[in-house]
Amino acid sequence: MSVPIAKSIKVALLQFYAGSDKIANLSKAKEYFLKALKKEPDLDLLVLPECFNSPYAVDQFHNYCERIPGGETTNMLSKFARENSINIIGGSFPELGEDGNVYNTSLTFNKSGEIVAKHRKVHLFDIDIPGKMTFKESASLHSGNKATVFDLEGLGKFGLAICYDIRFPELAMIASRRGAGVMCYPGAFNTVTGPKFWTKFGVARAIDNQNYVILCSPARNPNGGYQAYGHSMVVDPNGDVLIEAGHGEEIVYAELDPQVEIDARTSIPLSSQRRFDIYKDVSKDAVTSAL
C-alpha cells in the first residue's frame, strides 16, 4: 500500500496582499516567512498566495515578469528555502517564458532551495459576470500545458495548480491518480465568486480525491484594485475545513495527518472501485496510488 503523505506535515499559509513595489512585496514575503517560523519553528512547509509579487491586474503582469531561473523572485525564494532548510510552495508570479510569452507560474522549492516543481496556470481566468466581475487573463497571459505532480522529499507527493484551475477537476484527479496526497492551489478568488465558490471547490477537490487541499489567497487590499476573497484554508480528505483565515493579512497553520487520509481511503475505497472501463471519454492517467 503506497502512502500518499509520508508523515504529519506542518504547514503555514501566508495570507498577505501585494502592492505596486515589487521589492517591497518580496520583502513582505520574507517578513511573513520569518513570522511563521518564529511562531512555529518546526514547520515543514510554507505556502504563498497567487501573484504575491505584483498587483493582480492584466495590464501589469508584463511589468513584473521575470525569467525562471535567474529572476529576483526565484532567487529570493530559493535562498530563503536553502538558508532556513524549509520547503516553500511559492504562490505564483508572472514569468517571462523562453518564448517571450508571460505566464502565471508557481514554483516549489525543497529544503536545499532547488526548484522541484513549476506549474504554469493551465486555465486562464476569463469570465464576464455582467455588472459584477469581468476579467480576462488571456489578454496578457499565455496558458501552461501540463498537470503538475511532484515529490517533496520526506513529505510525500503533491499536486499543484493555480486558482481558476480548481474549477477543472481533472488536474487534481491526475495528481491523485499519480499518488498525490495533497493538492495545493495558490489562488486569488474575488469578492463576487469567492463567497459563492471558494470553499465548495476546496471541499469538492478534497472529497473527490480523498486528499488534503491547500488554498492560499492574498489578503484583501485596503488600497483598492482587485479585491481578493482571502479565506486561505486547509481541507482534509473527508472535506472538513481544518483551518480558515478571514480576509485580512494573517498566517494560518495546520497539520496534515497521514492517518486521516489512510482512514478516509481505506474505509471508503474509491480508488479500487473506479470503473475506468466506462470513463473512456474522460482522460485517464497512470494509476500508481494503491490506497
Ligand X SMILES: O=C(O)CCC(=O)C(=O)O
Give the number of residues in contact with ligand X, rule: CB under 6 A. Answer: 10
For the chain, the straight-line distance linking the first and the last C-alpha, in angstroms and rounded, comes to: 6
Give the per-residue contact string, 106-145, with ligand X (x = CB under 6 A; - = no). Answer: -------------------x--------------------
Active site residue 31: no
- Distance, in Å, from the CA atom of 121 to the CA atom of 163, rounded to the nearest integer, reads 8
Contact 268, 238 (CB under 8 A): no
Outline where 40-94 has alpha helix (H): 61-64, 72-84
- CA dihedral of 159, 164, 168, 172, whole degrees rounded to 10: 10
List 28, 95, 111, 163, catalytic entry: 163
Interface with ligand X includes 213 (CB under 6 A)?
Answer: no
Give the whole-angstrom CA distance, residue 142 versus residue 216: 22
Query: Restricting to residues 165-184, which ones interact with ligand X according to CB under 6 A?
Result: 167
| 76 versus 122: smaller Cβ distance to ligand X | 122
Question: Which CB atom, from 59 or from 98, has the smaller least distance to ligand X?
Answer: 59
Q: Examine residue 13 and tell whether it contacts ligand X (CB under 6 A).
A: no
The β-bridge relationship of strands 156-160 and 148-152 is: antiparallel
CB closer to ligand X, 91 vs 258: 91
> How far is residue 6's CA from residue 211's CA, in Å, rounded to a whole number?
13
Does 93 engage in binding with ligand X (CB under 6 A)?
no
Closer residue to ligand X (CB): 54 or 193: 193
Where in the sequence numbering do the catalytic residues fall?
50, 121, 163
Q: Which residues bind ligand X (CB under 6 A)?
A: 50, 125, 163-164, 167, 188-190, 193, 197
